Amino acid sequence: MVSNVKKVPWKAGEYKKQNWGIWLHSISSYVGRIKPAFAHCLIELCSNKDDVIFDPFCGIGTVILEADLMGRKAIGNDLNPYAYLISKAKLDRRGLDKEIKYLQRIKLRTDQIDLNIVPEWVREYYDDNTLKEILALSTKLIKHKREFLLGCLLGIIHGHRKQHLSIRTGYIIPYIPNPKPPKEYKEVIPKMIEKVKRMYKDPFPIKHKASILNQDTRNLQLKSKSIDVIISSPPYYNTIDYVHVNRLRLWFAGVCCKKQDELSSTLIQQKHTYLNQMEDVGIELKRILKDDGLIVFVLGDVNYGTKSVKTAEDIREIYKKIGFSSHGIVCDEIPAARTTIVKYGGNTAINNKKTKLDRILFLTKK
């Protein structure tokens, strides 16, 4: 298995295409997500059909969707409400016709929308009438539990292409370029219908065997010894603030600024607590993993000035102490142009061009 992973098959043939995978994978963007082809190859090499696969830090559900498409029972978990919502959206499958008919029938009442209660930093992204339509639609989608459509709306809530509802911004992080682009009215329902059609461009089964949790990975409501394989890309050492880079989408998902700050302090992303928290995660993962189960962690190197932190090696040593055996680390080079955008302060996005390696760590119970 490890020897086959060393061949990095996700960089060969059709898998090396940047847009490999069904359109549903791209329902909405997420900083630091792994490529669908990478997830597909890890699942294929490290699991068997009908295995129960768990991703404790599933982000927007790339591993979960791909595992489901490959006939595995998949369980994802993420504490970030935006990530949880998008992962759930990929499982809310009602068919193209039903989604289009719902949007065509809906009547958006914007006359009672009061933009004075909307934070000024949100309003700067939109024409007032567009913003009113977004708020009216999101309210209905939440009320009617239309998770797929809400995911589509969040997917076009900001960006740099004509299908996006905001002024021109960064695609993944909503930074505003200088000079600031002009606002223009964009009718929401037609944009949503276009988005839905794109997501259904590639066929996928309506039924699925996947589920998504919104729990703390250190205290999961899963049965002991119930998981065959864990495949995940855990948070990196203080390099990505998963809350504030998604602050605009989180706000439209109902997470206000105060709650976002509170959420940021609870996630595993702080440098001074990271290793202790990941040790607690390991103890819980050992509980839910079957005796012959496998953990596959994708962990990135992080650089602080001249110091390089090899996260995978740190995690390996910690997990050895709590009862896991290591079966090697496979290095995967990342082109500098594709490294993760790691910081978002104000309206500035910064590339960490020194982070050029992902390391794939393999662990089993002793």
Sketch the domain layout of the chain as residue ranges.
2-80+217-365, 96-199
pLDDT per residue as tens digits for the range 29-88: 998 889 999 999 999 999 999 999 999 999 999 999 999 999 999 999 999 999 999 999
337 has a pLDDT exceeding 60: no
Angle at 311 between CA 306 and CA 344, to 5 degrees: 70
Residue-level pLDDT at 308: 81
336 has a pLDDT exceeding 80: no
Q: What does the pLDDT average to over 148-169?
A: 97
pTM here?
0.93
- How would residue 238 be classed by pLDDT, with cut points 50, 70 and 90? low
Q: Which two structure tokens, joined as six digits, stand for 57?
A: 């830090």
211 has a pLDDT exceeding 70: yes
d(Cα 60, Cα 23) in Å, to the nearest integer? 14
pLDDT per residue as tens digits for the range 271-324: 888 999 999 999 999 999 999 999 999 998 887 777 888 999 999 999 999 999
Report the CATH fold assignment for 2-80+217-365: Rossmann fold (3.40.50)
- Farthest-apart Cα atoms in the chain, separation: 63
d(Cα 254, Cα 153) in Å, to the nearest integer? 13
